[in-house]
Structure 1
């Protein structure tokens, strides 16, 4: 049923739980996982350290994705990765487009990401993904 599972990761504890759930679904259904990390780029106006700040953000994103890929490999699940650098695009739209272009059957996301819960029950990122996704979304607390 779920052969192509897209899981959004950001390095938070709920994201780690979402990855675990995605791997379990893949194991149960003989599927594969695509690990997606959306690195939100902060534009630094002026100053000479813009490239350094961007480099630090890219290194952090690579660590998040690398850790998720190692977890998938340790679980014996076929996985690949997609690292997307966002310059003002909405998370829900990015995830929905990634799901469409890859032909995902399921999107898995943590209920709260790095940004925290805020005032919304599912966090703003998870809520965006639920509204925009072209396939079922599994939200993991």
Structure 2
């Protein structure tokens, strides 16, 4: 386990490297440092480990962070009106602001965006933002597997792992 109570695993597109990542000297395969780091943020408490690692990468490479919060919606029920959003736009903005403050407090340049997407397409929305911004790496907060099924975030993480064109760092909270 890395210092700071978290563990990271590198997920390169289409295959997995099993060795845990040492933060010092993280570089892309061609030797270019990760200077554009994208971090999807679900909530500050669940994303703190990934934000901490991303901030360390950004500080080490003088890079920039792009924080993305997906405000998901469910399609309308038949004869049920419009879309259903589990959180308000104010709540989504507050989550993103807290994450940006976290990054800025560590001396890293960070920008952020709230995107809206159907719940089943959260991962694709994050990948679209990654491609549009030109991310060198995605630092993805993750959780241990559940006993029954996958939640929305886990499904989005799997979409990202499978379809990302840049390296993905999966960051699990510390298991103490």
Q: TM-score, normalised by structure 2?
A: 0.67
Kept in 2: contact 1:27–1:77 (CA 8 A): yes
Residue 33 (structure 1) aligns with: 65
Which of the residues 132, 138, 145 maps onto 1:101? 132
Q: Once the 2 structures are TM-superposed, how far is the Cα of residue 112 of structure 1 from its aligned partner?
A: 2.9
Kept in 2: contact 1:37–1:84 (CA 8 A): yes
In 2 relative to 1, CA 11–55 (structure 1 residues): closer, same or farther, beyond 3 Å?
closer
Kept in 2: contact 1:109–1:126 (CA 8 A): yes
Q: Which runs of 5+ in 2 are unaligned?
A: 1-32
Residue 7 (structure 2) aligns with: none
Q: Once the 2 structures are TM-superposed, how far is the Cα of residue 89 of structure 1 from its aligned partner?
A: 5.3
Which of the residues 14, 19, 34 maps onto 1:2? 34
| Two-structure CA RMSD over aligned residues (Å) | 2.7
C-alpha distance in structure 2 between counterparts of 1:90 and 1:131, whole Å: 14
Which of the residues 165, 168, 171 maps onto 1:137? 168
Kept in 2: contact 1:92–1:132 (CA 8 A): no
In 2 relative to 1, CA 19–89 (structure 1 residues): closer, same or farther, beyond 3 Å?
same
**Higher relative helix content:** 1
Q: Once the 2 structures are TM-superposed, how far is the Cα of residue 72 of structure 1 from its aligned partner?
A: 1.3
C-alpha distance in structure 2 between counterparts of 1:132 and 1:29, whole Å: 25
C-alpha distance in structure 2 between counterparts of 1:72 and 1:25, whole Å: 11
In 2 relative to 1, CA 20–84 (structure 1 residues): closer, same or farther, beyond 3 Å?
same
Q: TM-score, normalised by structure 1?
A: 0.82
Q: Which runs of 5+ in 1 are unaligned?
A: none
**Higher relative strand content:** 2
